[in-house]
Structure 1
Amino acid sequence: MSGVLAGKVCIVTGASRGIGKGIALQLAEAGATVYITGRTLAPKDSRLRGSLQETAEEVKQRGGQCIPVQCDHSDDEQVKKLFDRVSSEQNGRLDVLVNNAYSAVTALSGDAMGKKFWELPPEFWDEVNIVGLRGHYIASVYAARMMIPARQGLIINISSPGGLMYLFNVAYGVGKAGVDKMANDCAQELRRHSVSFVSLWPGAVRTEIIQDTMLNAPEAKSGRVAAHANMFKLGETPEYSGKAVVHLASDPKIMKKTGRILMASDLAREYGFKDIDGRDPFSSRCVKDIMEVSGYPWLAMLMPRFIRIPHWLMAITYSKL
């Protein structure tokens, strides 16, 4: 398969479903050889949608190259074996690592919803941050060891606005803030080796779990859930972030972005791409979109889409200084 990333070698962690799957599909479609990881090749729980095998099959149907690797990112030895395998099979080459693996999605939307940190068991912290924050760090260590000798490479942490503002709960927010800080600090040490490291914020993504728990739920028709559901209805497909990653991976000036937090919707405007359904999804910086989901569609109709909330205003609003 030919494409802008032909010959590139990528790893996407946590690619069984959701954003990770969307990124893997787009990278493979762009011509890269993509290693994808997950805890199981096929789900033991039939209620869970998606598996590594299904992702690999969809990549194959699109004519791409995908190698599924069973890997639990809470187990350092399994992570090491993953990178050893890629190095052996690809002659030491690794161009892109996307740190997406996250094991707490179900926990965040389950019994922990709405509870304060002192009401949750202490081990909830580990459930949220071992595979996320810590797992991203461990994978980045091994990726850097492959990229530095080649003096090229890109590492991307999938994060969220929860690193800037309160979202879900304390463990989640601290973890995402750590993921963003990791990208910035690692970028400082990698810069002289010409390896870039960024943090990517997807927007409201219509993942399989969001479809099942919010968009298709009876309670999505009224109240607070309905307001969130409206945002996700206008939101991104999982492949929107994939398109952003492909453009970053093919950007010859990527080092100018190293260390930064990047929003998928901002990258779409910069690089000139739309979602796979041809839309411009909801953006938390677009005033028109905010009015639409806030119940003011008549005002949204009058508002041009180019009017956006400046980054500096977001930073000041949520500044901790």
Structure 2
Amino acid sequence: MALSGKICLVTGASRGIGKGIAVQLGEAGATVYITGRSSSPEAAVIGGSLKETADEITAKGGTGIAVICDHAEDEQVKQLFERIEHDHGRLDVLVNNAYSAVTAIVKETARGHKFWQHEGEPGEFWDIVNLVGLRNHYICSAYAAKMMVEVNQGLIVNVSSFGGTIYLFNTAYGVGKAAVDRMSSDMAHELREFNVACVTVYPGAVLTETINHTLKQEKNEFLHRTFEDGESPEYSGKAVVGLACDKNILAKSGKVLLVADLARQYGFTDVNGRQRPSAFQLNSLLARAGYSGLASIVPDFVRLPSFLIAMRSSKF
């Protein structure tokens, strides 16, 4: 119960990574506000609801509070933060996870569409991917920062992915994720003097309810290969709990943090007891490249320097 008494907000938490994070924060004793739309195209088919997540948070030992909020609507977002401020006068942890594009991205990837081939007008697909997944993260962070700066402490976590460093899925996805990473870095720069941290978290390939459902419908080899041994949503949740408990969190502020690396640092495993490989581990990279024999004799602690990944994504 290391986070007992803490006030947290996880956006987009009716299912998937958001639910995994919210439930783990609840298990650590926090009061967790969770948001989601009252209905979504996925809900009727995939299942999962805000009430179910809130009940699970409470059952784990925390306090789950479900708030219906469409993060594409600025006024609803504003009212959400006004409610938290009215009820508690502070916010300790914000996790920007809300994302409305998973189904659209997977379907477009399965069809092999390039950015000029998406169905409908170009701006429509861009907004599906980045209106909630990028613009809303900025808005939520601004409201959260106002409360955090007043009490000189707080943590903002932006959920992103390796699509911010390499080409992944499609152009709109990569641009959005790269922008989230830069946003975290710049926000951290402005927040540091107020003792507020802002980080980006990279999960691996996560087997969410939406992904599991879509894989049953789609026969795309790339998608199945990407998610065949995916992480659970709770793995990311344990990483966020570790960050929220970190007494030296400002040392990480502004950085991109891999969930698999945080697992080793904070000493946790996935829900099935497995320790997931880091993208920086040499044996993991060799295995993905097809050199399984060589990978088997390389110890886990042999890693590529993270600056090499940064250099690969550099445009200079």
Work out the number of aligned pairs and report it.
312
> Distance between the aligned counterparts of 2:141 and 2:223, measured in 1?
36
CA distance 1:251–1:201, shift in 2 (3 Å)? same
Counterpart in 2 of 1:249?
A: 244
Counterpart in 2 of 1:195?
A: 196
Counterpart in 2 of 1:97?
A: 94
CA distance 1:262–1:278, shift in 2 (3 Å)? same
**Matching residue's letter, 2:94:** L
Counterpart in 2 of 1:238?
A: 233
Q: Partner of 1:117: helix, strand, or coil?
A: coil
> Distance between the aligned counterparts of 1:58 and 1:117, measured in 2?
39
The structural deviation recorded for 1:211 is: 2.0
Q: Is the 8 A contact 2:206 2:227 kept in 1?
A: no
The structural deviation recorded for 1:64 is: 2.2
TM-superposition CA deviations, 1:216-269 (whole Å, max 9, x none): 56847xx54453244xx1x32111111111111111111111111111111112
Q: Is the 8 A contact 1:227 1:293 kept in 2?
A: no
Q: Which deviates more from structure 2 when the two are superposed, residues 10-19 or residues 58-67?
A: 58-67
The structural deviation recorded for 1:110 is: 1.4
**Matching residue's letter, 2:33:** Y
**Matching residue's letter, 1:302:** I
Counterpart in 2 of 1:59?
A: 57
Counterpart in 2 of 1:70?
A: 68
Counterpart in 2 of 1:258?
A: 253
Counterpart in 2 of 1:115?
A: 113
> Distance between the aligned counterparts of 1:274 and 1:45, measured in 2?
29
Counterpart in 1 of 2:22?
A: 24
The structural deviation recorded for 1:294 is: 4.5
Q: Is the 8 A contact 1:41 1:52 kept in 2?
A: no
> Distance between the aligned counterparts of 2:196 and 2:226, measured in 1?
38
CA distance 1:224–1:147, shift in 2 (3 Å)? closer
Unaligned stretches of 5+ residues in structure 2: none
Counterpart in 1 of 2:45?
A: 47
Q: Partner of 1:110: helix, strand, or coil?
A: helix
The structural deviation recorded for 1:173 is: 0.8
> Distance between the aligned counterparts of 1:167 and 1:284, measured in 2?
15
TM-superposition CA deviations, 1:80-139 (whole Å, max 9, x none): 11001111111x110000000000001101146522222233121111100110000010
- Give the TM-score normalised by structure 1: 0.91
CA distance 1:305–1:60, shift in 2 (3 Å)? same
> Distance between the aligned counterparts of 2:222 and 2:26, measured in 1?
38
Q: Which deviates more from structure 2 when the two are superposed, residues 31-40 or residues 303-312?
A: 303-312
Alignment of 1:128-277 (within 5 A): 128-214=129-215, 216=216, 219=219, 223-230=221-228, 233=229, 235-277=230-272
Q: Is the 8 A contact 2:42 2:210 kept in 1?
A: no
Q: Is the 8 A contact 2:10 2:18 kept in 1?
A: yes
**Matching residue's letter, 1:78:** Q
Q: Is the 8 A contact 1:69 1:82 kept in 2?
A: yes
**Matching residue's letter, 1:66:** G
Unaligned stretches of 5+ residues in structure 1: none
Q: Partner of 2:116: helix, strand, or coil?
A: helix
**Matching residue's letter, 1:196:** A
Q: Is the 8 A contact 1:41 1:70 kept in 2?
A: no
The structural deviation recorded for 1:194 is: 1.0
Aligned residues: percent identity? 55
CA distance 1:45–1:241, shift in 2 (3 Å)? closer
Q: Is the 8 A contact 1:203 1:282 kept in 2?
A: no
Instruction: Quote the RMSD (CA, aligned, Å).
Output: 2.0
> Distance between the aligned counterparts of 2:136 and 2:161, measured in 1?
16
CA distance 1:49–1:288, shift in 2 (3 Å)? farther
Match of 1:309 among 298, 304, 312: 304
**Matching residue's letter, 2:46:** L
The structural deviation recorded for 1:271 is: 1.7
**Matching residue's letter, 1:110:** K
Q: Is the 8 A contact 2:141 2:156 kept in 1?
A: yes
The structural deviation recorded for 1:29 is: 0.4
> Distance between the aligned counterparts of 2:125 and 2:109, measured in 1?
9
**Matching residue's letter, 2:79:** K
CA distance 1:251–1:301, shift in 2 (3 Å)? same
Q: Is the 8 A contact 2:205 2:226 kept in 1?
A: no
Q: Which deviates more from structure 2 when the two are superposed, residues 109-118 or residues 194-203?
A: 109-118
Counterpart in 2 of 1:82?
A: 80
Q: Which deviates more from structure 2 when the two are superposed, residues 32-41 or residues 293-302?
A: 293-302
> Distance between the aligned counterparts of 2:183 and 2:269, measured in 1?
29
